[in-house]
Amino acid sequence: MIAFQWHKLHPDAATLPNHPSEAPGQLGDDGHKAQGGLSSQQILHSIWAPKVRSKPASRQQQVLRQQEKRIQQSCHVQQRSHKKKHSHITCAAATAELATEKATVKIGTRGSPLALAQAYMTRDFLKAAFPELAQEGALDIVIIKTTGDKVLNQPLADIGGKGLFTKEIDDALLGGDIDIAVHSMKDVPTYLPKGMILPCNLEREDVRDAFICPTASSLAELPAGAVIGSASLRRQVQILHKYPQLEVVNFRGNVQSRLRKLNEKVVDATLLAYAGLKRLDMADKLTAILDTEDMLPAVAQGAIGIACREGDSDTQKLLASLNHEDTRIAIQCERAFLGTLDGSCRTPIAGLAQKNDMGGLTFRGLVASPDGKNVYTISREGSWTEQDAIAVGVEAGKELKQQAGDEFFDWARQNVY
């Protein structure tokens, strides 16, 4: 006979209403109800009966479902072994063993080496902050292929749309297939899908761009007609504005493939984010680091953002411990600037917010025509608070709109859709 102590099975058992048959009863080896009790199947069904839900199951609900299956398996093992002395275990004991288990936290990411490095970094930070997540199986990395990963033979501007490297990951998050999404913040559109929040930014890496060339030590040393490979319109316009004698061609792929093409002399030089090279332990490949005065970085360059579902309080608590507030404030400013300009993949835009020596905020922004002939810049200062940072970004965006004129942005929008 198996002593089935049902009241220990469910974390909310103490709050369940009394029932005439709630007293622990005895279950026969055939699983049927003995006098004065409930069968194991009835008890399991009453506690874990599936319910129709409009939202993805929470991690606690996923755990309960996994536990139900394992408890049933444990009971079957006991029934097969009940003739062996001291070999039996009770369902109550099996339940107690499983009661402290945690659901696997699934981390969604792209599959490029850099994206995986950022996902592993997030995983390691979670393990360090929460010892229970250091246990085997507590964290799982889920690779998701995005539109930007699938289409490599066209410039990003020609593919069109927003969220080329994020949409499929965000869909998986909202569908409950993953619990958190790890993004390079410069890939994240200024709007977020309904039901998703982005409460966490990891500490920002170096924001500067790296120049890589086997024959010259700087852009200025390249001869007229030299070809630079870059998929970034932002980099293209800043290069052509200062060095109109150079040529810039579309140059897509992950860091490793771009460096391989450079070695194969497909192009004479290329530019990559210094942060990415550092995260891949490939900083030794660079030729020079470009000062932000010479090459203003992309909005949110060097920052990692971690998203979760709205209302998922358990995950939000995990991410709160990883958030770097100074990074988050800077990113809020830059994204407010980008959102005000309504920038698209065909609009070369750069922006950088930093804490200055006085503890305040300094912002610099840039927008340009794709040929690099017309470049508009702005600088603003404010206090280092989220509210003021957003206000500075919005004001800077509005002023640049006035400088460039409505016709400039009308052209950009017409060439996106």
The predicted pLDDT at position 68 comes to 53
Whose structure tokens read 């004065």?
A: 36
- Mean pLDDT across the stretch 353-361? 97
Residue 107 backbone phi and psi in degrees, to 5:
-105, 115
Sign for the CA dihedral angle at 282, 283, 287, 292 comes to positive
Band (pLDDT 50/70/90 cuts) for residue 162 is low
Q: What is the pLDDT of residue 157?
A: 59
Average pLDDT over residues 284-297: 96
Average pLDDT over every residue of 356-383: 94
More confident residue, 218 or 409: 218
pLDDT beyond 70 at 251: yes
Average pLDDT, stretch 52-68? Answer: 53
Answer whether 334's CB lies under 8 Å from 351's CB: yes
pTM: 0.74
> Looking at the annotation, which residues are catalytic?
187
CA distance 172 to 62: 16
The whole-number average pLDDT for the span 110-124 is: 96
> How many distinct helices (H) and strands (E) make up the chain?
14, 15
Percent with pLDDT over 70 in the chain: 70
Q: Please, which residues have CB within 8 angstroms of residue 193's CB and are 6 or more apart in sequence?
A: 170, 174
Tokens of 374: 């017309």
- The whole-number pLDDT of residue 371 equals 84
Give the position of tokens 């996994």. 66
pLDDT in tens, 75-107: 444 444 444 444 444 444 444 444 345 579 999
Six-digit token string for 327: 């990074």
The predicted structure's pLDDT at residue 147: 83
**Rounded Cα–Cα distance for residues 219 and 221 (Å):** 5
**pLDDT the model gives residue 18:** 38
Q: Which residues of 70-104 are buried (b: 16+ CB within 10 A; e: fewer)?
A: ebbebbeebeeeeeeeeebebbbbbbeebeebbbb
- pLDDT-based confidence at 250, cuts 50/70/90? confident
Q: In which band, very low, low, confident or very high, does the pLDDT at 231 lie, cut at 50, 70 and 90? A: confident
pLDDT band of 17, cuts 50, 70, 90: very low
Q: What values do phi and psi take at 211, rounded to 5?
A: -95, 130
Distance CA 136, CA 119 (A): 17
Q: How far is CA 42 from CA 29, 46, 47, in A?
A: 15, 6, 9
What is the C-alpha separation between 144 and 141, in angstroms, rounded?
Answer: 10
Q: What is the pLDDT of residue 15?
A: 37
Cβ-contact 321, 132 below 8 angstroms? no
Using CA atoms, how far apart are residues 271 and 238, in angstroms rounded to an integer?
12
For the cut 90, the answer to whether the pLDDT of residue 166 exceeds it is yes
Burial of 15 from C-beta contacts in 10 A (0-12 / 13-18 / 19+): exposed
Cβ atoms of 305 and 221 within 8 Å: the answer is no
The predicted structure's pLDDT at residue 88: 42
- Region 321-335: what's the mean pLDDT? 98
| Nearest residue to 364 (alpha-carbon basis) of 289, 276, 288, 291 | 291
With contact defined as beta carbons under 8 Å apart, do 219 and 211 qualify?
A: yes
Say which residue, 308 or 76, is predicted with more confidence. Answer: 308
pLDDT at position 146 over 50: yes
On the question of pLDDT at 268 being above 90, the answer is: yes
Average pLDDT, the chain: 80
Is residue 413 pLDDT above 60, yes or no? no
CA terminus-to-terminus distance, the chain: 71
Query: Do the Cβ atoms of 96 and 103 come closer than 8 Å?
Result: no
Q: Can you tell me the distance from the alpha carbon of 150 to that of 154, in angstroms, rounded to the nearest whole number?
A: 10
How, if at all, do strands 105-109 and 139-143 pair?
parallel
Greater model confidence, 294 or 412: 294
Cβ atoms of 301 and 187 closer than 8 Å: no
80: three-class secondary structure by DSSP: helix
Residue with tokens 């852009």: 219
Q: Cα(62)–Cα(53) distance, rounded to whole angstroms? A: 13
At 407 the pLDDT is 74
Q: What is the pLDDT of residues 124-134, one digit of tens each?
A: 999 999 999 99
Q: Report the distance separating Cα 245 and Cα 224, nearest Å.
A: 5
